[in-house]
Amino acid sequence: MKKSFFLIIICFCSQLFSQKNNNNLSATIIGSGSPKFNIERSGPSVLISYKNTKILVDMGNGTQANLNKLNLRIKDLDGLLFTHHHLDHNEEFAPIFIQSLLGGNKTTIAGPKQTTSIINNILDIYKEDINYRLSKSERTLTDVKSNFTAKNLTENTSFYIGDVKITCTPVNHTIATLAYRFDVGNESIVISGDLTYSKSLPTLAKNADYLIIDSGGAIELGKKRNTKRNNTKNSHKTTQKAHVNLAESSKMAKDANVKNLVLTHFNFTNVDEKATTTEINKNYSGTIIYGEDLMVLPLKENYKTNSNSALKYNYPVVDTGVKDYYSNTEKIEKPSVGDSFYGQDANYNGNQPSYTNNGDGTVTDNVTGLMWEQDMGTKMTLEEAILKAKKSELGGYNDWRVPTIKELYSLIQFTGKVKGPNAIEMFIDTNYFNQPLGNSKKGEREIDAQTWSLTKYVGKTMRNDETIFGVNFVDGRIKGYPKYNPKTGVSNKMYFRLVRGNTNYGKNNFIDNKDGTITDYATGLMWQKTDDGIGKNWEEALSYSENLKLSAYSDWRLPNAKELQSIVDYTRSPQTTNSPAINSIFESTQIKDPKGNLEQDPFYWTSTTHLDGKNPYASAVYIAFGEAQGQMNGRLMDVHGAGAQRSDPKSGNKMDYPEYFGPQGDVRYVYNYVRSVRNIDITKNMETTQQSVKKTKQTQKNRQKNNSQRSQNTAPSFEKMLKNMDANNDGKISKAEVRGKLKENFDKRDKNKDGYITEEELTRTNK
């Protein structure tokens, strides 16, 4: 009874889990293995799901068993697709196809050449058996043939199953093979099938969210890599190559610019993920996911990976470095949960800054994977900086570039301190990076040492100035600065720090969880989708986030400066997209600007104190998702661009704000808005169906071991026995069908000697 109840709970959880993902395009790896039998990895198979549409791609050994674990019936499948016709990908197609016919559902079956021939052969060989089964419901094969559509696919073809657009293209393998792309709205998943290097795949997979690919060349845990395996100089080798190696798969992923590379089709159980990742990272710097049976993509934060795996985010946010605690006016002791000012930056430790001085004029950021120029040299124009990057061979590398604003901001540390125009401590680690000050001999202030990025503001600032975003590592701010001198029209010059590596850094991977939360699978952060529409001072903002309960989570917090900046979308602005500088997947409140006659997008608090001014503890960082407004000569304007990072007083009389401050008349709202955040924890949260299945396996093994004596006299449930032993599906269990210990006791249990066992006879114990 307990066992049955536990199985019911698993099925119920499985249904809930699948329903939660119904509104997003998802892929479930039904089988992650190969032709080699592996109890932990079933044969190749992937389930594509969107709302009520279910499409199965390939059907290797174990497919039906794993579908059953997800409580998914064959009659629920709308499509059966083949990548190619090798046995390990087709092994369970025949029984699945026949069950589909019996279920009477409408199904599209497609694949490369011979697909229709295989179907016709099955119908011919099993015609009598199929008709026998159909006769129980007074149907014939003729009645159900119209329920499926079969077609051979050639070249590049597109078609729909439900609302899912499917595009296929041929790829190189030992036989005719197709790769498939599945699109719904702006979501996309690509499945390569088995392949060798194919120029067609990057074209098909361009900018896809997930590329599920042949794991050829993956390194087995505990095994040394065979470096001769992929040696092209071995010209004596005549065996036809069937699978990609890691260099090839990673190059195709890079060329396609996919967000997530998912390896599957393993011929062993445990992968040396560290060694394999190292090889892949030589080409591809995005997120690498090692597939397992029943893994669901997009990965949910409560999916538990195996003990030797670690999900690698391509956009890890580096911590601000803040270790001290502050109130509105002073430095304080560490607050505890429930105390005033709990939840500020130093209460939470993220990815701590870590650098390596390479001794050749370069510094490697060990968190982001970016390599930086150590010394910026002199100020220059943007065009000069781009040319410098193109020609640079610093450290022996020739792929230097001008960084984006998100790449550049990864270096900021809010352990810095400034007082107006005067520098005190830099907002960058000067143990590794050279940070010059403004040149007083040329009339510059110490803070006039801004570092420009490649990111241009899509709007205009001041009086219609073309603007470039930069980070000021002397005063700790992001601002947009005019590209040209407004008076002379001459190109302005700033400092530039060149970068190379991890070209995916700064690229978000948002998924709307349909529960008021947004997950960014690039950074590993989950966000509150909608702010609560009420301006708060800093202490109130901290308290609000700490006490927020949203989507069954209670570990929300106010984001630090770098976390909040990670969700700025610098391709958007009120001027150009009539929206804040944030992905449209989020929802934002609008407020009146200080003039009261225009719609403005609010500033958002962070948990980070900004050490500036007469009282350095009195201000905290905010991000302007709307225009970073200021008032100059009585005119309200966008002075620094949507996406700027400045700071406001932590508290004040609400009636006194907005006010204006500084040479650009920065608008101070003080009562800013909140968008809370929490970490994705893939190891500590509630278990998913996959974990429950693993627990069930172990529980079953333990029960079998502990109750081996009792099991000799006690048969399984009649329903389970029917499912496992009723070979002809006649609803009865004959002696010929019974297996195991029960076969020896058949005659004793068959009390009426009719040659069949009933449920009553099965459950009656032997005497």
Q: Is residue 604 within 8 Å of 538, Cβ to Cβ? A: no
Confidence of residue 739 (pLDDT cuts 50, 70, 90): low
The 10s digit of each residue's pLDDT in 74-123 is: 999 999 999 999 999 999 999 999 999 998 889 999 999 999 999 999 99
- Report the pLDDT value the prediction gives residue 726, as an integer from 0 to 100: 66
177: helix, strand or coil: strand
741: helix, strand or coil: helix
| Most confident by average pLDDT, 172-181, 239-248, 708-717, 732-741 | 172-181
Q: Is residue 143 within 8 Å of 119, Cβ to Cβ? A: no
b/e for 367-395, b at 16 or more Cβ within 10 A? bbbbbbbbebeebbbbeebbebbeebebb
Q: Tell me the C-alpha distance between 591 and 601, whole Å.
A: 6
Nearest 10 degrees: Cα torsion 659, 662, 664, 665:
10
Average pLDDT over residues 346-358: 93
> What DSSP string describes 301-357?
TTPPPPTT--PPPSSPPBP-----EE-SSSEEPPPPTTSTTTTSGGGS--B---EEE
7 has a pLDDT exceeding 50: no
- Report the pLDDT value the prediction gives residue 87, as an integer from 0 to 100: 94
The 10s digit of each residue's pLDDT in 494-539 is: 999 999 998 889 999 898 888 999 999 889 999 999 998 999 999 9
Q: Is residue 282 within 8 Å of 253, Cβ to Cβ? A: no
**CA-wise closest residue to 513 among 527, 495, 493, 498:** 527
The 10s digit of each residue's pLDDT in 21-70 is: 467 899 999 999 999 888 889 999 999 999 999 999 999 999 999 999 99
pLDDT-above-90 percentage for the chain: 69
* Those residues with Cβ within 8 angstroms of residue 514's Cβ, 6 or more apart along the chain or in another chain: 20, 23, 24
Q: Tell me the C-alpha distance between 348 and 334, whole Å.
A: 11
- Report the pLDDT value the prediction gives residue 221, as an integer from 0 to 100: 80
**Structure-token pair, residue 9:** 């709970």
766 has a pLDDT exceeding 50: no
* Those residues with Cβ within 8 angstroms of residue 91's Cβ, 6 or more apart along the chain or in another chain: 43, 59, 60, 61, 63
**CA-wise closest residue to 210 among 48, 32, 22, 18:** 48
- Report the pLDDT value the prediction gives residue 696, as an integer from 0 to 100: 38
Q: Is residue 723 within 8 Å of 731, Cβ to Cβ? A: no
| DSSP state, residue 702 | H
- Report the pLDDT value the prediction gives residue 685, as an integer from 0 to 100: 33
Average pLDDT over residues 544-566: 96
Q: Check residue 416 and give left, alpha or beta (phi > 0: left; psi -120 to 50: alpha).
A: beta
* Those residues with Cβ within 8 angstroms of residue 596's Cβ, 6 or more apart along the chain or in another chain: none
57, 208, 261, 689 from 43: Cα distances, Å? 12, 25, 20, 20
706 has a pLDDT exceeding 60: no
The 10s digit of each residue's pLDDT in 164-206 is: 999 999 999 999 999 999 999 989 999 999 999 999 999 999 9
Average pLDDT over residues 576-598: 90
722 has a pLDDT exceeding 70: no
Tokens 């279920």 belong to 103
- 161, β-bridge pairs: 164
CA 601, distance to chain mean position in Å, is: 28
Q: What is the pTM of this model?
A: 0.62
**Structure-token pair, residue 148:** 């499926």
Q: Tell me the C-alpha distance between 167 and 646, whole Å.
A: 46
HSE-up of 485 (CA within 13 Å, CB side)? 9
The 10s digit of each residue's pLDDT in 410-466 is: 999 999 999 999 999 999 999 999 999 999 888 999 999 999 999 999 999 998 999
What fold, for 22-227+239-297? Metallo-beta-lactamase; Chain A (3.60.15)
- Report the pLDDT value the prediction gives residue 18, as an integer from 0 to 100: 41
Q: Is residue 475 within 8 Å of 490, Cβ to Cβ? A: no
- If one counts every other C-beta atom within 10 angstroms of the C-beta of residue 358, the result is 13
Q: Tell me the C-alpha distance between 300 and 521, whole Å.
A: 9
Q: Tell me the C-alpha distance between 46 and 63, whole Å.
A: 9
- Report the pLDDT value the prediction gives residue 752, as an integer from 0 to 100: 74
Least confident window among 3-12, 112-121, 141-150, 171-180:
3-12
- If one counts every other C-beta atom within 10 angstroms of the C-beta of residue 707, the result is 11
- The H or E element spanning position 749 is helix 746-749
Provide Rg for the chain, Cα atoms. 31
**CA-wise closest residue to 266 among 246, 296, 286:** 246
Of 37 and 686, more confident? 37
* Those residues with Cβ within 8 angstroms of residue 78's Cβ, 6 or more apart along the chain or in another chain: 53, 54, 55, 105, 106, 107, 108, 161, 162
The 10s digit of each residue's pLDDT in 207-222 is: 999 999 999 999 988 7
Q: Tell me the C-alpha distance between 195 and 83, whole Å.
A: 10
- Interior CA angle at 690 toward 686 and 695, to 5°? 85
Q: Are strands 629-632 and 635-638 parallel, antiparallel or unpaired?
A: antiparallel
273 has a pLDDT exceeding 60: yes
- Report the pLDDT value the prediction gives residue 206, as an integer from 0 to 100: 96
Least confident window among 145-154, 218-227, 332-341, 552-561:
218-227
Q: Is residue 297 within 8 Å of 26, Cβ to Cβ? A: yes
Mean pLDDT of all residues in the chain? 86
